[in-house]
Structure 1
Amino acid sequence: MAPEIAMPLPVCLIENQEGKDLVINKDAAQILSDITQPVVVVAIVGKYRTGKSYLMNKLAGKRNGFALGSTVQSKTKGIWMWCVPHPSKPGHTLVLLDTEGLGDVEKGDSRNDAWIFSLAVLLSSTLVYNSVGTIDQDSVEKLHYVTELTERIKVKSSPKDKDEDEDDSAEFKRIFPSFIWCVRDFTLELELDGKRITEDEYLQNALKLKRGLGKNVMDYNLPRECVHHFFHSHKCFVFETPARSADLHRVEELPESQLCEGFVRQAERFCDYVYVNGQPKTHAGGHPVTGRMLGNLTVMYVDSIRSGSVPCIENAVLALAQIENTAAIHEALSKYEDLMGQVAKSFPTESQEQFLNLQKECEKEAVRVFMDRSFKDEKREYQAQLMRDLLQKFGEFSRYNEEASARKCGALIQELSATLERRLTHGDFCKPGGHKHLLEEKQKLVDAYNRTPGKGIKALEVLQGFLMEKKKMEAAILQADQSLSKREKQVEESRIQREAAQQKMEIEEEKNICLEQTRKEQMRGFEQQMLMLKEKLEQDRLKMLKENERLMEERMKEKQDLLRDGLTNKAAMREQQIQELKKQNDETSSNSWITKGICLLADVASLVLPGVYGKAAVFASNLLKRIF
């Protein structure tokens, strides 16, 4: 279970130093790195002194926290963060990002506003845009930052051809946040052509495109088209003035009983909507982002901006995948070592089979840890590395088990042979009939040794080694025994030689049995990994299908709206995007998508572990025939 988040107040995540440089606050980044849960990230942007912080404090369930300020000076410089347990999504963390006001005259550099806006878009799963008055042409134009997103954010690392711009913008919508427009101090009636309309209809009407090709029409349509292209789940809330004019400068100090009832009620509606409908942040493909991953992404994006380059989502995700997959290997190995460390306390195991059965469960848990954290391991190189590392750890614990067995057996032999050694030292067997007595004494030792449980897999080898050490002594006593004839001595020597050969054969046979058991276990482990990979790929497939279905629904609605407004060319572009999404779903729905991933794992495993998985491709082929 993840630890409870203890963050009584917000902290600055990205500091805006004098409106020029963006700097990561290491303490805030550390807070994110400690959050292993998926995060729902809500960022709010808008003109300064429009009450953004009040809404964010409400989402945090607090009256105070984010600085509101009572003068015209903007209080929030950079991006401030507050992480709280999500009130309606167990196992998730709500990350609230309050940005500095756009258009702050004290900054003097409008480019800085654009970067703050871009970072809010990159980091959030829900973007709240806050404005005052009404949604008119002026308020839409103030959202001009959205028209600059394609210049300040790249989806793909490779350059796009000009005729692919439309498809590129469609990719933004796959990974950009949902959009909520909050209109503060709204005094109009929600009516259109004499009919009552909803807040969402009010927003849709304000974002409606005009027909025509002139510059004025294009300038009018551009920010509206960008909102449609980049964001999904467009939602609107309108708020009446929160208090009397005389009290507006101290809204944060007023109890809710002194705020306008309608304003309080709408603020609660806004919070309830965000809690229920705000989705966890994900990468393309639906993979959830944890707080730790969000912290790494924040560092990557800010570093790109500081270096003068444009943040690239694809490059950031690939770099993040490298970080996460490497960490997933270390975490999985740590899990394996911890579990096997507990098992090792009871070493030696009675048999190799028992050791393998115990090891099997530890390996399964380790692979599950890797699967849960890893993502975008498309070449299966990280999973193959995990195989190699687990095999090495397996060999180490196997040796520990053998060494524990050898020590225990050696100590037992030493204890049981004490009397025999003493009699040999005193020459008790160097007399007529001494060889017979030696054999009797040796047999007692062997019987007592065999009756003792818990010796482990080296029991036979240690015993045979001890007996081999005594062969010369036994041969000397045999030759010195005057009670035996020459013929009897020859027969006994032959028996001793046959016994030595038999002992050697038994040891080799036991080793071969252990090797075969180990080989079968390793192939079984490989099969287990392939089955777990199949399960993971199926989950990834469902996420991708669901994501594409959502995009198709949104594109279909946009197409219908465009056709209704007579914008047939733009509607045709939406249809082209819908068909491309259907094609992706058809390809993803086939078993070949999963088969390719499993066979790739087999190919990579054959390369990195040829001694163990030399026939992995054939094995994978046989497995695929069974599971499909």
Structure 2
Amino acid sequence: MACGGLMSAPVCLIENDENGKLRVRKEAKDILDGISEPVVVVSVVGLYRTGKSYLMNRLAGQQTGFALGCTIESKTKGIWMWCVPHPNKKGHTLVLLDTEGLGDVKKGDEKHDTWIFCLAVLLSSTLVYNSLGVIDNMALEKLHYVTELTENIRVKAEVGQHEDESADFIRFFPSFVWAVRDFSLKLEKEDKPITSDEYLEGSLELKQGSSPQAAQYNLPRSCLRNFFAVRKCFVFPRPANTEGLQKMEELTEEELDSKFLEQANTFCRYIYNNSEPKTVSGGRTITGTALGNLAEVYVEAIRSGKVPCLENAVVSLAKIQNVRAVAEALQFYMTELFKLVQLPINPAELSNIHTVAEKNAIDVFITMSFSDNDQIYQKELMGKIHEEYQQMCQHNYEASSMQCEEVLRDVFDRLEKGISDGSYLKPGGSQKYIDMLRQLSEEYRARTHSQIMSEEVLSRFLKTKEETGNMILQADESLSAAEQEKEAEKMKTEILKQQKRSLKEQNRLQEQMYQDMQRTCDEHMNQIIYQMEREQDRMRRDNERVLEAKLRESKALLKMGFQWEAARMQSEINSLKAEMEKEKSSQPSKLGQALNRIGMATTLLAPGFPLKLIGVGISLASNFV
């Protein structure tokens, strides 16, 4: 469900509880739980009273929504969320996150601001940093939160003593947009016009030297350069006069500065066109449901005093998502089956319904599942669907048996009455009994020819009448002992023929089940191939994005004269290239292992069905003894 259209206003996603600890609001989590589409997550961060919320309202296509701070107080507390249908990407939801203004001295909790900034980085696919004035050293020093990311975010669960994870941040962090508000300078450098992006990159140039002052100057710049692969800048003139700024929500577009409005529209178009769906490690795209779970995982880590770990978050998210994916896929399968099946039903028709329902259920699972690399949860779903289908087949046999038994009782009522009143215990009565048995058997077959258990029910019934037939033969004085023995053999032969018909009928049913299982296996294998190809493509694009950013940074470092740093960057590039080659060469092996696991699962499930059929036969025999 893409519930963006149902949200008429933002809701609080992350707030402080009564003990001052962060928590995820249930109302917001429930909204995200209902979004099965991929999400494009845009967060805005910045100092309080810088007009962050106005830009988010523009992105939502609304004049009002997120609270605008027109006074000296910070209006937004925690992180607020607004989900709307994505204007450009069909089948995607745009999730806008407006964060609490940073640097409000009244809060007296610097760590709280750090965690708000970290959560915005961890949850978004595009991070908008909003500031006033110009990008200068003071502005970059105010962005000290970016320099603290290495202390407050971990990539791996286990890190070596001398291992620096910051080189991996670029792979996981969002794209970065710096929105400079109330910008009044000319975009020029050495009397030549420059773009806003060139203005940003020029502001991020590093200083030569090894002094503490140079290190302090370079730190926030290096972090921005190394952590964010995509950087973009927009400069906005003042939107209105001072009086107008105090009632921004009420101003019409005609009352806004035309250049501001033009830039605001350009900003929105850029976000719509360039912000990618939110992904986690391996370039895996996440849905609204997964985003809500991810928020809870990160917030829980912060609440417990730990540093949020990307690797642990993915493991936790995978378990949560996959358990739910199995449950929802199975529920979808059962709903489809019970909606369309009316027992008793022809096995071929039941098989077709099962095949379509299972295929759609696997689609549901694939959409929701997450990082099921060993197909543990897919095999679990496969087994549960198999069990449900077996049960449905069992109910189908029982329903068919009941109908056949009802017809059998009606058809053979005359025979039973003849046996009860002794009509066949007379000279010539045995032939009369045999003729009646044959005639009624044909009548029964004519009335139950479409029923799958017709021959089985008749076979069991005739077996119960073997002793009665022998008794009637022995009582027939018109036959010699040799004739009685000959007729008894004929009756026994007829019973054996009927048992063969029943066995043939059961073999057809078992063959149908094996064909269904083969189709199931093929469908799961096709989905694995599709999923792994898609995963490989995502990972390749993710690696190429990171590689391009590192190559760009390496060239920039050389240009600025930082040979040692450029050499370090080249080492990272070489490691990444080697990793990409290794991943590429291991794909066929991974695919083979995955397909083998599914094949083994099919083999383990295969023996279950015939055993249940035998159980049906035994239970039917007891009904006529």
State the TM-score, normalizing by the size of structure 1: 0.92
Task: Give the drift of 1:492.
Answer: 0.7
Partner of 2:596: 602
Match of 1:201 in 2: 198
Query: 1:512: Cα distance to partner?
Result: 4.6
| Residue matched to 1:181 | 178
Quickly say closer, same or farther: Cα 1:479–1:267, change in 2 above 3 A.
Answer: same
AA aligned opposite 2:434 = L
For 1:122, the aligned partner's letter is L
For 1:193, give the aligned amino acid: E
Question: For the Cα contact (< 8 Å) 1:44–1:98, is it kept in 2?
Answer: yes
Q: Secondary structure at the match of 1:101?
A: coil
Q: Distance in 2 between matches of 1:359 and 1:61?
A: 44
1:156 Cα deviation after fit: 1.0
In structure 2, what is the equivalent of residue 302 of structure 1? 299
Q: Deviations over 1:477-527 (max 9, x none)?
A: 212222222221111112223333444454445445544553454244223
Q: 1:419 to 1:497 in 2, by over 3 A?
A: closer
Does the Cα contact within 8 Å between 1:380 and 1:601 map onto a contact in 2?
Answer: no
Q: Deviation digits for residues 540-559 of structure 1, max 9, x if unmatched?
A: 11111111111111111111
Alpha-carbon distance between aligned partners in 2 of 1:295 and 1:221, rounded to the nearest angstrom: 36
Residue of structure 1 in register with 2:44 after alignment:
44
Out of 268, 277, 280, the position equivalent to 2:277 is: 280
Give the residue type in structure 1 aligned to 2:202: N
Distance 2:486 2:392 in 1: 45
Contact 2:133 2:184 in 1 (8 A): yes
**Structure 1 SS opposite 2:95:** strand
1:551 matched residue in structure 2: 546
Q: Which residue does 2:606 correspond to in 1?
A: 612
Q: Which residue of 1 aligns with 2:110?
A: 110
3-state SS of 2:108 partner: coil
Q: Which amino acid aligns with 1:577?
A: E
Distance 1:602 1:417, change over 3 A: same
Task: Determine the C-alpha separation between the residues in 1 that align with 2:578 and 2:389.
Answer: 44
Residue identity opposite 1:180 in structure 2: V
CA apart distance, 1:76: 0.9
Q: CA deviation at 1:224?
A: 0.7
Aligned to 2:129: 129
Retained in 1: the 8 A contact 2:521–2:602?
no
Q: Whole-Å Cα distance in 2 between the matches of residues 575 and 453 of structure 1?
A: 78
Q: Deviations over 1:545-593 (max 9, x none)?
A: 1111111111111111111112122222222222223223323334x41
Distance in 1, matches of 2:182 and 2:400, equals: 80
Residue 595 (structure 1) shift? 3.6
Gaps of 5+ in 2: 609-625
Correspondence for 2:529: 534
Residues 231-284 of structure 1 show CA distances to partners (whole Å, capped at 9, x for unaligned) of 121000111111123332222222222221111111111111111111111112
Contact 1:332 1:366 in 2 (8 A): yes
SS in 1 for 2:280: coil
Cα deviation, residue 399, structure 1: 0.7
Matching of residues 429-468 of structure 1 within 5 Å: 429-453=424-448, 455-468=450-463
Instruction: Kindly state the Cα deviation for residue 336 of structure 1 after the two structures are TM-superposed.
Output: 2.0
Amino acid at match of 1:150: T
Deviation (angstroms), 1:74: 1.0
1:331 positional shift: 1.6
Q: C-alpha separation between the residues in 1 aligned to 2:506 and 2:140?
A: 78
Give 2:560's aligned residue: 565
SS of 1:219's partner is: helix
* Counterpart residue type for residue 229 of structure 2: H
**Structure-2 residue corresponding to 1:95:** 95
Distance 1:528 1:607, change over 3 A: closer
Find the counterpart in structure 1 of residue 32 from structure 2. 32
Distance in 2 between residues matched to 1:88 and 1:285, nearest whole Å: 25
Instruction: Spell out, residue by residue over 1:343-365, the C-alpha distance to the aligned partner (whole angstroms, 9 max, x if none).
Output: 4314232x5x5544443333322
Q: 2:382 maps to what in 1?
A: 387
| Contact 2:37-2:93 within 8 A present in 1 as well | yes
Q: Which residue of 2 aligns with 1:618?
A: none
Q: 2:254 aligns with which of 257, 269, 276?
A: 257
2:543 is aligned with what amino acid?
N
- Which amino acid is 2:216 matched to? D
What residue identity is the alignment partner of 1:429? Y
Q: Distance in 1 between matches of 2:7 and 2:36?
A: 15
Deviations 1:213-235 (A, max 9, x none): 22211111111111112112100
- 1:126-525 matches, within 5 Å, as 126-162=126-162, 164-165=163-164, 168-349=165-346, 351=347, 355-453=350-448, 455-508=450-503, 510-512=505-507, 514-525=509-520
- Equivalent residue number for residue 617 of structure 2: none
Structural RMSD (CA): 2.2
Partner of 2:67, secondary structure, is coil
Q: Distance in 2 between matches of 1:9 and 1:442?
A: 78
**Cα offset for 1:141?**
0.5
Q: Conserved in 1, the CA contact under 8 Å of 2:343 and 2:396?
A: no
Q: Is the 8 A contact 1:605 1:613 kept in 2?
A: no
Q: Are residues 1:587 and 2:578 paired? A: no
Task: Report the CA distance shift for 1:3/1:459 in structure 2 as closer, same or farther (over 3 A).
Answer: farther
Change (3 A) 1:123 1:3: closer
Q: Which moved more, 1:475-484 or 1:523-532?
A: 523-532
Contact 2:3–2:31, Cα closer than 8 Å, also in 1: no
Structure 1 Cα separation of the partners of residues 125 and 521 of structure 2: 38
Letter of the aligned partner of 2:447 in structure 1? Answer: T
Change (3 A) 1:521 1:256: closer
SS at match of 1:528: helix
SS at match of 1:36: coil
Structure 1 residue 342, shift from structure 2 partner = 3.5
What residue identity is the alignment partner of 2:194? Answer: I
Encode CA deviations 1:27-72: one digit per residue, 9 max, x unaligned.
Answer: 1121111111111111111111011111111111111111113210
Contact kept, 8 Å, 2:343 with 2:399, in 1: the verdict is: no
Paired residue type of 2:241:
R
Shift of residue 611, structure 1, vs aligned partner:
5.6
What is the number of residues matched between the two proteins?
608
Q: CA deviation at 1:454?
A: 5.5
Distance 2:49 2:78 in 1: 14
Matched, 1:12 2:6: no
Query: Partner residue of 1:622?
Result: none
Q: Which moved more, 1:605-614 or 1:85-94?
A: 605-614
Percent identical among aligned pairs is 45
